[in-house]
Each structure stands twice: as structure tokens, then as C-alpha cells.
Amino acid sequence: MARAETPLALTLGDPAGVGPDITLFAWLARAHEPIPPFVLLGDTTVLAARAEVLGLKVPIAAIAEAETAEARFAEELPVLPITVAGEVIPGRPNIAAAPAVQQSIERAVRLVQGGEARAIVTNSISKAMLYRGGFAFPGHTEYLAALAAKDGETPHPVMMLAAGSLRVVPVTIHIPLHEVVRALSKDLILTTIEITANDLRRYFGIAQPRLAVSGLNPHAGEEGGLGREEIDIITPAIETARARGFDVTGPHPADTLFHAAARATYDTAICMYHDQALIPFKTLAFDEGVNITLGLPFVRTSPDHGTAFGIAGTGRASPRSLIEALRLADAMSRAAESHT
């Protein structure tokens, strides 16, 4: 169990993207707003070079143990060194960096499993670069679940996007749209409901979470006239969840689930596929959104944006989503410590 004083573990992300930029900006922000101490798992040379490109004066300290990060954080940006191979040019992803990107994620997990870090915050990765380097997982979420496997059991990860009281969860995540119907099942929806509700209690202190479940089809299927998935799959999952004591409503038409009055009636919206959840979320909370992985034995958050290669090294990248991810990881890990 990590102590409250242990730092957050921040991963490298793709070094050619905005990860180094926003990491530097987030550390500098501690001068005028509360930033929980973190240790970056990355390359000090890459970070120093990016600081120079951006014209930033950031003292960078290579450290040997994560436990020293908290004491150094006020004066220096602490880094547990991981060497990035190849040349790093802002905006130009290089496959040579893929091993270091993956190593950074793995090391963060080992730190939190060993009690040396309280939670993981991940900078954005380029899946295309990792795939070319042999990465065998659809994305961060699935890789973290594999790293968290214990005694042959792999946890079921659930992706949540959060910004204040706005929270959304897609049941299916990184799969093509034409595969969504085949992937949906009563058991998958029910598992997603249960993990979401349980982690809302554990990490957000919501005693009886209210969950609103969307339909899959337009108008939630119009009683079967526009598709039977609501009748055959989604409603049975909702009914079983209610029988198990969960506060769940739906299936709701997705196009009326996100206006202000509707959002006031639930704590989290559970949607059937990726864009059904993320399009309204990013429309409402693009800059401050945080990506969370529920269902893991540790806290993981991430900025809700990509690598943004087009603005890497320009100074135009906002650290706001990373700052919110750091703060939320801090709050969630502290809530978990007091949860009974």
C-alpha cells in the first residue's frame, strides 16, 4: 500500500508528441496552483531539449528512487531515467522510441504495485508507432489490464471520461464500428455497470451511484422498429443490474442523454460504443477532460487528448487536461485509502 506522501508516476508518452511539453508546463504550474508531486518515467535529455525549444527554465533531476521525488518536486522536476533510442524531433514520431514508451508504462505499473507510487498518470501514446514496434494491445487500457494480471486472472478494464460531474463510459472501446453489435452482450453491459458503480463508490465517494444506460439504435430502437438490441441485450442487462441493487435507468435514446437537464439525473452515462460516449463528452469538456481506467487494482488517469504531433514543441499545447488528470489521480488514490 502506497503512503499518501508517495508521488504519482507519470509516463513518458510518445516523446515526439506534446507529452514533454505539457509535463514541463504542468510542473511549472505548481508556482500558482496546487500540483500533486509526480515523478516522470522518461528521458532527461529529451525533456531538457524540449525545455530549450520552448524557452523554459526547468531544473530536471535524475533520481534513483521514486521515494525521493516528493522532496525534490518543489525545486526540481524529478525523473526516473528511461533512455529513448533514436533522434527525437517534435512532431516527427520515430519507431525507435517505441520500446522506451512501453517500458515507461510497465515501470509505472511496477512502481504502484510495489507501493512506490500512489497512482499512474499516462501521457498520450501513438498507437501506430507502437503497433509498428510489435505492440500487441489495442491501446493503453488493454495493456494496463494485462500488466495488472495476477494468478492468471486479468482484470476487466472499463474506460471512463470525466470532467467534474460529467462522466461517460463506453461499453465497447477500441473496435471498428461494424463489430460493435457482435461484441455487445448482456454480460458485458452488466459487468460494465457493476465495475462503474463499484468504482464510483470507491474512488468518488458516491454511495449510491445513478447510472443512465443508452440504447444502441436511433431512438433506443423504437420498441424494436429500429433494431432489437435494446430488447434482447440492453434491457435484460439493466433489469439484472436493478435486481442486484444498482440504480440504473434506460435504455435511453443517446441523442437526448447529454443536455443539461438530462445530465442532472445521473452520475455517469454508460454508452454502447466509443464515439457515442466521446463525441458529446469532448464537445462539452474538451480541454479539461480526463481519461480514467476503472476495474484495475490501482488508479490510472490520463489527459483526454492525443499526442498532438502538429503542435509539439510550439508552446501551444495546453497542460490543463494533464493537470486535471494529476489532480484526479491524487484525489482518487486518497479516496481509495479511506474507502471501506
Specify the higher pLDDT residue, 62 or 338: 62
Mean of the pLDDT values across residues 176-199?
Answer: 96
Residue 340: predicted pLDDT? 56
Residue 2: predicted pLDDT? 47
Whether pLDDT at 145 is above 80: yes
DSSP 219: G
217-226 pLDDT, tens digit each = 999 888 889 9
Instruction: Please report, for the chain, the start and end positions of each structural domain, with discontinuous segments joined by +.
Output: 1-155+296-340, 159-295
Architecture field, domain 1-155+296-340: 3-Layer(aba) Sandwich (3.40)
Amino acid at 162: A
What value does the mean pLDDT of the chain take? 93
Whether pLDDT at 133 is above 90: no
Q: Is the dihedral of CA 139, 142, 147, 152 positive or negative?
A: negative
DSSP 92: B
Fold (CATH) for 159-295: Isopropylmalate Dehydrogenase (3.40.718)
Q: How far apart are CA 144 and CA 267, in angstroms?
A: 25
Query: Do 288 and 320 meet the contact criterion of CB atoms below 8 Å apart?
Result: yes
Whether pLDDT at 4 is above 70: no
Q: Edge to edge, what strands does the sheet with 268-271 contain?
A: 60-62, 77-81, 38-42, 8-11, 120-121, 300-303, 290-294, 158-163, 166-170, 268-271, 210-214, 247-252
55-99 pLDDT, tens digit each = 999 999 999 999 999 999 999 999 999 999 999 999 999 999 999
Topology agreement, domain 1-155+296-340 and domain 159-295:
yes
284-304 pLDDT, tens digit each = 988 888 999 999 999 999 998
Whether pLDDT at 1 is above 50: no
Specify the higher pLDDT residue, 177 or 286: 177
